[in-house]
């Protein structure tokens, strides 16, 4: 009995300390003190995060960090970027080297539960597909039995490929090439029948690397789910709330049709209560999150809504349509939790 009491008391103390730590907002306070958000990004993935000719980071992943900085600090440029490789990214987050990881990271159970991470939203729904030359005369991935497939090693792509062919009872011959330039060159020179990677990647490879893009098609089958989104470390719920709602505000702004251009007008004249809540005309949302009431206004004014960010980065750079990433009202999956 006594031991049980002590144990229970101990467990509660630990829980209380943990809760206190969580509420203490160590990350959030750190960001406020230093005055910028440290954001981990990809070392170069056009449309998601890549340096432009002036060396500035751009992309939809970068925009999530900018939106967070705009909401928390009032300035979308108060972000410092740490380019990270796939292997480094979680260590950087766990060790506190970065505050937020926005690096086309697939949300999975093990990452969420075992690595002590929190996925705060999905800013890009992707999935693995197949690119083939039209001359192959194949219209479905189910007809690919015995094909040679170019694939990059050490990625989930390689594993998904093996899973898919095994599940369908088909055989394939992998051609594993480390470097993306060499891998695509091998594909376009006819070294393999099929090239596989995420659909976003296939589309850009087809438009940018093929001599004649019309000679190549992307097969309709998407063989994996790759929900990509920003991640923070567990332990500072206040901070993960800020990131989650900063990103949500971008989608909600698109749902309401609030854009970088019309945001001032909307703030002054809109009678829609949802917009008034979003832009802080009706106060309360900022207070709830511990932010300035103009938090969402700052996001839209400085970064734009989700659709604008997508258009500017993904569509312009990769020529990709919205697809799964359209708003739910347009048949896509982007659906903002209500801000109220």
Partner 1 sequence: MSENAKLPPMPTGSFAERAVAWSKKNLFDGWFNTILTLGSIAFLLWLIPPIVEWAIVNATLSPTIEGCAEVTGACWGFVNANLRLILFGTYPFDEQWRPLLAMIVLMGIICGSLGAVKYPGLRKAIIPMWLIGVPVISILMWGGVFGLTYVQNSYWGGLPLTLILSSIGVIFAFPFGLLLALGRQSHMPAIKTVSVVYIEVIRGVPLITVLFMASVMFPLFLPDGVTIDKLLRAQIGIILFTAAYLAEVFRGGLQAVPRGQFEAGDSLALSYWQSMRLIILPQALRLVIPPTVNSFISMFKDTTLVVIIGLFDFLGTVKLALRSDPAWTKYYVEGYAFAAAIFFLICFSMAKYSAYLEKELRKGERR
The site for partner 1 (CB under 8 A) is made up of 26, 43-47, 50-57, 80-85, 87-88, 91-92, 94-97, 181, 204, 207-209, 317-318
CA dihedral 331, 337, 339, 340 (to 10 degrees): 120
Residue number, 142 or 179, with CB nearest to partner 1: 179
How far apart are alpha carbons 235 and 233 in whole angstroms? 6
DSSP summary character for residue 312:
I
Residue number, 92 or 339, with CB nearest to partner 1: 92
H/E segment holding residue 125 = strand 124-126
- Tell me how far, at minimum, the Cβ of 159 lies from partner 1, in Å: 21
- Tell me how far, at minimum, the Cβ of 122 lies from partner 1, in Å: 23
Residue number, 88 or 238, with CB nearest to partner 1: 88
Nearest Cα to Cα of residue 242 among 41, 67, 26: 67
Residue number, 96 or 283, with CB nearest to partner 1: 96
Nearest Cα to Cα of residue 246 among 82, 74, 46: 74
- Tell me how far, at minimum, the Cβ of 280 lies from partner 1, in Å: 31
Nearest Cα to Cα of residue 133 among 148, 153, 155: 148
Residue number, 36 or 221, with CB nearest to partner 1: 36
- Tell me how far, at minimum, the Cβ of 55 lies from partner 1, in Å: 4
Residue number, 3 or 53, with CB nearest to partner 1: 53
How far apart are alpha carbons 242 and 69 in whole angstroms? 10
- Tell me how far, at minimum, the Cβ of 112 lies from partner 1, in Å: 19
How far apart are alpha carbons 129 and 202 in whole angstroms? 7
Residue number, 174 or 319, with CB nearest to partner 1: 319
Residue number, 60 or 249, with CB nearest to partner 1: 60
- Tell me how far, at minimum, the Cβ of 127 lies from partner 1, in Å: 20
| CB-based contact 163:234 (threshold 8 Å) | no
On the CB side of 85, CA atoms within 13 Å amount to 4
- Tell me how far, at minimum, the Cβ of 230 lies from partner 1, in Å: 18
Q: Give long-range contacts, CB 8 A cutoff, 24+ apart: 166-170.
A: 168/142, 170/142, 170/144, 170/145, 170/146
- Tell me how far, at minimum, the Cβ of 90 lies from partner 1, in Å: 9
CA-derived radius of gyration, the chain: 22
| CB-based contact 67:303 (threshold 8 Å) | yes
Q: β-strand 194-198 against 124-126: which pairing, if any?
A: unpaired
């Amino acid at each position: 009995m006594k031991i049980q009491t002590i144990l229970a008391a101990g467990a509660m103390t630990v829980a209380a300390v943990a809760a206190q730590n969580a509420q203490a907002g160590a990350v959030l306070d750190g960001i406020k003190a230093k005055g910028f958000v440290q954001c981990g990004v990809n070392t170069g993935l056009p449309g998601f995060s890549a340096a432009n000719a002036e060396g500035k980071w751009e992309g939809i992943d970068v925009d999530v960090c900018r939106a967070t900085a705009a909401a928390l600090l009032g300035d979308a440029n108060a972000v410092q970027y740490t380019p990270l490789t796939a292997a480094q990214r979680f260590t950087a987050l766990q060790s506190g080297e970065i505050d937020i990881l926005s690096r086309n990271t697939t949300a999975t159970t093990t990452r969420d539960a075992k690595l002590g991470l929190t996925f705060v939203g999905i800013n890009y729904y992707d999935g693995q597909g197949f690119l083939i030359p039209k001359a192959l005369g194949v219209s479905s991935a189910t007809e690919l039995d015995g094909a040679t497939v170019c694939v990059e090693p050490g990625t989930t792509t390689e594993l998904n490929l093996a899973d898919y062919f095994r599940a369908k009872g088909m055989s394939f011959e992998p051609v594993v090439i480390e470097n993306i330039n060499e891998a695509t060159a091998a594909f376009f020179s006819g070294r393999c029948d099929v090239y596989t990677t995420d659909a976003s990647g296939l589309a850009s490879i087809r438009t940018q690397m093929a001599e004649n893009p019309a000679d190549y098609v992307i097969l309709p089958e998407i063989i994996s789910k790759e929900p990509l989104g920003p991640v923070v470390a567990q332990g500072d719920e206040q901070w993960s709330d800020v990131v989650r709602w900063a990103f949500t505000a971008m989608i909600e702004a698109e749902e309401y049709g609030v854009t970088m251009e019309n945001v001032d007008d909307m703030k002054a004249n809109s009678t829609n209560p949802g917009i008034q809540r979003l832009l802080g005309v009706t106060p309360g949302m900022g207070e709830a999150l511990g932010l300035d009431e103009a938090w969402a206004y700052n996001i839209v004014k400085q970064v734009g809504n989700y659709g604008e960010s997508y258009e500017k980065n993904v569509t312009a750079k990769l020529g990709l349509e919205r697809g799964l990433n359209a708003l739910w009202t347009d048949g896509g999956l982007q659906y903002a939790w209500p801000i109220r």
